[in-house]
Amino acid sequence: MPSDKLQIDAFAMQIGDVAEADLEQLHALSISVGWPHRGADWQFLREVGKGVVATDEIGRIMSSAMWFRQAPELATIGMVITSPRLQTQGTGLWLMEYALKDLEGVNLRLNATRAAQRLYLSLGFKPEKTVYQCQGVVTDAPAVQTVAGELRALTDGDLAAAIALDAAAFGVARASLLEKLFQHSRGYGLFRDGALKAFALCRRFGRGHVVGPIVASGDEDAIAVVSSHIRDHEGRFLRLDTHFETGDFALLVVRSGLAVFDTVLTMSLGKSLNDFAAEGSEPPVTYGLVSQTLG
């Protein structure tokens, strides 16, 4: 079991539960490394996951790590943050030990910044795909295009269908997370013969709003459901995290004003992304992540 105390130079660090941590301090921690999370975004994550924080002798939060059981066999890790003054001092590894202990035997995914990739490689994580963090003020929203099927706003009655479609794309059913996202999001879905074929959710996050997840079986359907959200936010800040760098979907995102701001690397421990991929000629895929933390 990891020790609940760590001495780093003059700092005597102690472990605490992120659920009991002060939201203002958590917000300050993420701001210190340039992450946009508001207090409300931290609170959302605390409601769907677990985590730990490292505090100094006077209770200041200096580091954090969170993990999220998406299903019994798969979890994601995120919000691994260390105050700039303590980076490279082993605090991140210390907190990761708590996550790995709690998640023993579970397949893991995370999205690593360039600075953190060496840490995760040392723990056995394998590189998978690049995530393109696209964001900006929507300056050129796409015009309404004719698409085969019915495009409409999602309702609570569509939750079960969205969970099933997301499960086929992500690899496991994230029922509790999707239920929570429905409470905080506006969604658009594309239906054919009464069946949900693609959907995209959009919620308040960081500097504005974020679109995700986006699930579809091809660029045309993904464009159909995401375009409505882009039009809704013309002149406002919008973010979208995707594994797609090229193709019609990626081109639409960039042309709308959401330029690639940064990249992170999806990594896995245990089964790979391909092990969870759906079979079939045109399986649904995740065009947009819920977030870098949640996958």
pLDDT values of the chain reduced to their tens digit, one per residue, 295 residues: 565 554 455 557 788 999 999 999 999 999 999 999 999 999 999 999 999 998 888 888 989 999 999 999 999 999 999 887 665 566 778 889 988 999 999 999 999 999 899 999 999 999 999 999 999 999 988 888 888 899 999 999 999 999 999 999 999 999 999 999 999 999 999 999 999 999 999 999 999 999 999 999 999 999 999 999 999 999 999 999 999 999 999 999 999 999 999 999 999 999 999 999 888 778 999 999 999 999 9
Q: Specify the fold of 133-288.
A: Aminopeptidase (3.40.630)
- The residue among 288, 47, 286, 271 whose CA lies nearest residue 167 is 286
Q: What is the location of CATH 3.40.630.90 in the chain?
A: 133-288
Q: What is the pLDDT of residues 47-62, one digit of tens each?
A: 999 999 988 888 889 8
Q: Where in the chain is the domain with CATH 3.40.630.30?
A: 5-105
Residue 220 near residue 249 (C-beta atoms within 8 A): no
First-residue to last-residue Cα distance in the chain: 27
pLDDT tens digits, one per residue of 206-220: 999 999 999 999 999
Which CATH code, of 3.40.190.10, 3.40.640.10, 3.40.630.30, 3.30.465.10, is assigned to 5-105? 3.40.630.30
